[in-house]
Amino acid sequence: MRTVAIAGTGLIGGSFGLALRAAGFDGEIIGVSSAPALDAALRVGAIDRGAPLAEAAAEADLIFLAQPVRRIIETIAQLDPLVKPGALITDAGSTKSAILEAAKRHIRRARFIGGHPMAGSERTGAEASDANLFRARPWALMQGETDAGELTEWIKRFGADVIFLDAAEHDRMVAFTSHLPQLASTALAAVQSNDAMLFGPGLLDMTRLALSSWELWGDIVVTNREAILDALDRYTAELTRLREGIRLADEIPLKSLFQQAQQLASAIRAAPYRSYIK
């Protein structure tokens, strides 16, 4: 591939550009974004130039959509007539089923493979982008008819761990591992007093995600509603069990719930996803 277009040159799009360069890509990287976002991406060296979508799509061998989920769906709806035949389109959207449906409906002349790099930061914009953002993080690619070929190779060169799975499985999983933590953090921040003065590092950890912007999350909760409602129900059920144990000062079930949580928190840190890497 010689030319890459990045639609949405924020944190993820900018980091994709920087990671490509760091991994030795020497073709052209064209950004498609708002004027200030393009300026920022140019400043950090994530893109070579900005262009309108039609111009960038006509030249690109790979089109990377790094926008909020509903923007990705809008871009997909207009992209097919613009692309070079046989180009590869992928994305970084946080939910996958709705995006894959849109791609199935609209993309004819190009190939589409849905993706989701599990990396991020509470910081936004190309100013915060980082060639190492994807290193040692999972990067999900959706199983399907499209051969990810060269894309997979570049992602591996970024240091990320490629995991193939299907869109519904992805969406159920991230409802628990990503969307629920966001909502848990947002609700926790919402009950704090803005003159809270006694707290340790735990509260800072637990409210970091609450700094995330609604712009991104509105699209996620709308496009992964059922799985998120299920995760929220499971979560409030555990909170209710904790509440009952505390109300009754019944320490046996509380201790067992704490220990179960402790084991799961440790298991996550043992990075079991590595055994799933293909």
Residues 158-217 that bind a second copy (CB under 8 A): 163, 165, 170, 173-174, 176-178, 180-214, 217
Residue span binding a second copy (CB under 8 A) among the ranges 33-41, 63-71, 78-86, 236-244? 236-244
Q: In angstroms, what is the C-alpha Rg of the chain?
A: 20
- Do strands 111-113 and 138-142 pair parallel, antiparallel, or not at all (unpaired)? unpaired
C-alpha torsion 192→197→199→201, nearest 10? 100
Q: Is 221 exposed, middle or buried (0-12, 13-18, 19+ CB in 10 A)?
A: middle
Q: What's at 213, amino acid-wise?
A: S
**Is the CB of residue 119 less than 8 Å from the CB of residue 134?**
yes
What residues from 259 to 278 belong to the interface with a second copy (CB under 8 A)?
259-269, 272-274, 276
Instruction: Give the nearest distance from C-beta 270 to a second copy in angstroms.
Output: 9
What residues from 77 to 136 belong to the interface with a second copy (CB under 8 A)?
116, 118-121
- The number of residues making up the chain comes to 278
Instruction: Give the nearest distance from C-beta 1 to a second copy in angstroms.
Output: 26
| Phi, psi at 33, each rounded to 5° | -170, -175
Query: Which of 43, 104, 123, 255 forms a contact with a second copy (CB under 8 A)?
Result: 255
Instruction: Give the nearest distance from C-beta 59 to a second copy in angstroms.
Output: 32
Strand order in the sheet with 62-65: 49-50, 28-32, 3-7, 62-65, 88-91, 111-113
Residue span binding a second copy (CB under 8 A) among the ranges 45-53, 57-65, 147-155, 237-245? 237-245
Instruction: Give the nearest distance from C-beta 220 to a second copy in angstroms.
Output: 10
User: 């915060």: which residue's tokens?
Assistant: 128
Instruction: Give the nearest distance from C-beta 100 to a second copy in angstroms.
Output: 16
Assess 35 for contact with a second copy (CB under 8 A).
Answer: no
User: 């993309």: which residue's tokens?
Assistant: 107
User: What does the block give as tokens for 199?
Assistant: 């707290």
77 bridge partner residues: none
Residue span binding a second copy (CB under 8 A) among the ranges 11-19, 84-92, 150-158, 247-255? 247-255
Instruction: Give the nearest distance from C-beta 53 to a second copy in angstroms.
Output: 26
Instruction: Give the nearest distance from C-beta 91 to a second copy in angstroms.
Output: 15
Q: How many CB atoms lie within 10 A of CB 25?
A: 17
Total residues in contact with a second copy, by rule CB under 8 A: 93
Which one, 111 or 116, has the nearer CB to a second copy? 116
Which one, 86 or 200, has the nearer CB to a second copy? 200
